[in-house]
Amino acid sequence: MKTIAWDIDDVLNDLMYLWFQSWNTDNSASAVRYADLMENPPHGILGITMESYLKSLDTFRLSSSYLDMEPIKEVSEWFVDNGSRFRHIALTAVPLSAASVSAQWVLRHFGIWIRTFHFVPSKRQDLTLPVYDESKLSFMQWLDKVDIFIDDNPEQVQKAEMFGVKAYLFPRPWNNGRLSVHEILGEIGKR
């Protein structure tokens, strides 16, 4: 049975889109649209500092808005139809302060299939943690069990492919994902 490692935010859910809607409501003078977020992190496009962006994103993650997010419908439907054919792990980069909320969200919506939650702590000011893994790839190398990896970060996908893991770039405005969500899920379902 093959093992799939799923990024959480912007793959299983629409975090950036929903955070951006909230941020845009509070910053109504901004003319930026979600489709304009050609970089992640998008602080430069939004005209704010990285610190301000991370603070806003972390506030969203720790609010009920995060836990209230619905999964991406197409992904959720794929799990119902195909989930039992694979082993699944959640593999995300999230700050330590929000990891438990992220895990709760995953288990609430995908716990039937995703039985393990792994995270590489995102760096935050004034917080020093032991470093077990520098990246998602270093975690996958340590685990040595991942056959398929799905993420919205082109660099993470490229590194996984260089390690020999079949990786898919989940399409978002900030990446050049060639395949649609439907095409990615269709390819995985054929494995």
Q: How many CB atoms lie within 10 A of CB 90?
A: 23
Report the share of the chain in percent with pLDDT over 70.
99
Q: Please, what is the average pLDDT of the chain?
A: 95
Of 172, 182, 178, give the one whose Cα is nearest residue 36. 172
Residue-wise pLDDT for 35-79, tens only, equals 999 999 999 999 999 999 999 999 999 999 999 999 999 999 999
How far is the first Cα of the chain from the last one, in angstroms, to the nearest whole number?
Answer: 10
Q: How many CB atoms lie within 10 A of CB 73?
A: 9
pTM (global) more than 0.85: yes
Residue-wise pLDDT for 106-130, tens only, equals 999 999 999 999 999 998 878 888 8
Whether residue 28 is predicted with pLDDT greater than 90 in this model: the reply is no
- Please report which confidence band the pLDDT of residue 27 belongs to, taking 50, 70 and 90 as the band edges: confident
Q: How far is CA 143 from the centre of its chain?
A: 19
The structure tokens listed for 151 are 């993420």
Whether residue 94 is predicted with pLDDT greater than 90 in this model: the reply is yes
Task: Tell me the one-letter amino acid at 56.
Answer: S
Task: Tell me the one-letter amino acid at 140.
Answer: M
Distances (CA, A) of 33 to 40, 45, 46, 155, 171: 14, 10, 10, 24, 17
Residue-wise pLDDT for 12-22, tens only, equals 999 999 999 99
Q: How many CB atoms lie within 10 A of CB 68?
A: 9
Of 40, 53, 45, give the one whose Cα is nearest residue 11. 40
What would the DSSP string read from start to end of 42-98?
-HHHHTS-HHHHHHHHHHHHTSHHHHTPPPPHHHHHHHHHHGGGSEEEEEEEE-HHH
pLDDT, average across residues 165-191: 95
Q: Could you tell me which residues come within 8 angstroms of residue 32 by beta carbon, excluding any fewer than 6 positions away?
A: 24, 45, 46
